[in-house]
Amino acid sequence: MTTVRIPEDWPTTEDQARAVQDELRARVILGEPGPPPGSGRVTGVDVAYDDERDVVAAAAVVLDASSLDVVAEATAVGRVSFPYVPGLLAFREIPTVLAALAALPGPPGLVVCDGYGLAHPRRFGLASHLGVLTGLPTIGVAKNPFTFTYDAPDTPRGSTSALLAGSEEVGRALRTRDGVKPVFVSVGHRVSLPNACAHTLALTPAYRLPETTRRADALCREALREAYSV
Report the 10 Å Cβ neighbour count for 80. 20
Strand, helix or coil for residue 151: coil
Binding site for Mg(2+), by residue number, is 46, 114
Q: Determine which helix (DSSP H) or strand (DSSP E) holds 225, and give its type and residue range.
A: helix 211-227
Binding site, by residue number, is 46, 114
Query: Among residues 67, 45, 66, 68, which one has the least CA distance to residue 57?
Result: 45
Count of CA atoms in the C-beta half-sphere (13 A) of 64: 5
Q: Determine which helix (DSSP H) or strand (DSSP E) holds 165, and give its type and residue range.
A: strand 160-165
With beta carbons less than 8 A apart as the criterion, state whether 185 and 112 touch: no
Q: Give the integer Cα–Cα distance in Å for 36 and 184.
A: 20
What are the two backbone dihedrals, phi and then psi, of residue 205, each rounded to the nearest 5 degrees?
A: -75, -20
Q: Give the integer Cα–Cα distance in Å for 187 and 216.
A: 20
